[in-house]
Amino acid sequence: MASEGVEKLRSGSREQLLEKLRERIVGFAASRIQRDAAEDLAQEVLILLHEKYGHLERLEELLPLSLQIVRYKMMALRRKAQRRGEYTQVPVDQIQLADGGADPLAAAQQGEMRERLLAAISKMEERCRKLFALKLEGKSFAEIQDSLGAGSINTIYTWDFRCRKHLLELMGGAWDVSQ
């Protein structure tokens, strides 16, 4: 019965010692990092003290040891944040995102180019229009040869060259309007 009283007194003083130690650890860490991170570190230090240094019972022994452990843990926390790039992160609400839509100037230029191409192609002969259509479908020159019934693939190369040259002439001698 008497040993239970001594044990309760000893555990009560141990709890008071750990509470004082926790306050000092949190105060020390909070002076250097955020309060919630300081409390997390204090919890980790107390667990480490309990697991590895359970034989130490006096505040004079535990306080310097716990503060040194906190220093090491804060350095590790800073190294981890540095590795992860947390110090250079920009808040999400400050990031300027590019509009996924087309640039109005580029869209207008593309529309004008499309109109010019359609007008020029409509003035071309049937063979050139069919050749361009087959090329736009992704056909190879050998496949175009079969489709158009040409005797030689070199004939297709010649037709392609002549059709592109004629298209350029119909577009005013330049692909871009500015030229």
Q: What is the DSSP string of 93-110?
A: GGPPPPPSSPPHHHHHHH
Distance of alpha carbon 177 from alpha carbon 179, whole angstroms: 6
pLDDT of residue 104: 86
Distance of alpha carbon 68 from alpha carbon 79, whole angstroms: 17
CA–CA distance from 137 to each of 73, 144, 160 (Å)?
A: 63, 10, 15
pLDDT of residue 15: 80
Residue 131 is encoded by which pair of tokens?
């050749």
pLDDT of residue 82: 85
pLDDT of residue 171: 85
pLDDT of residue 3: 47
Q: 57, 36 in Cβ contact below 8 A?
A: no
Residue 114 is encoded by which pair of tokens?
């499309």
What does the DSSP 8-state code read for residue 140? Answer: -
Structural domains in the chain plus CATH codes: 10-86 (no CATH), 105-170 (1.10.10)
Per-residue pLDDT of the chain (179 residues; tens, 9 = 90+): 444 443 444 456 778 888 888 888 888 888 888 888 888 888 888 888 888 887 877 878 888 888 888 888 888 888 888 888 877 777 888 888 777 777 888 888 888 889 988 889 999 999 999 999 999 999 999 999 999 998 899 999 999 999 999 999 988 877 766 54
pLDDT of residue 2: 44
pLDDT of residue 177: 63
Q: Helices marked H in 34-125 — which ranges?
A: 35-52, 59-84, 104-122
pTM metric for this prediction: 0.43
pLDDT of residue 11: 52
Distance of alpha carbon 10 from alpha carbon 13, whole angstroms: 5
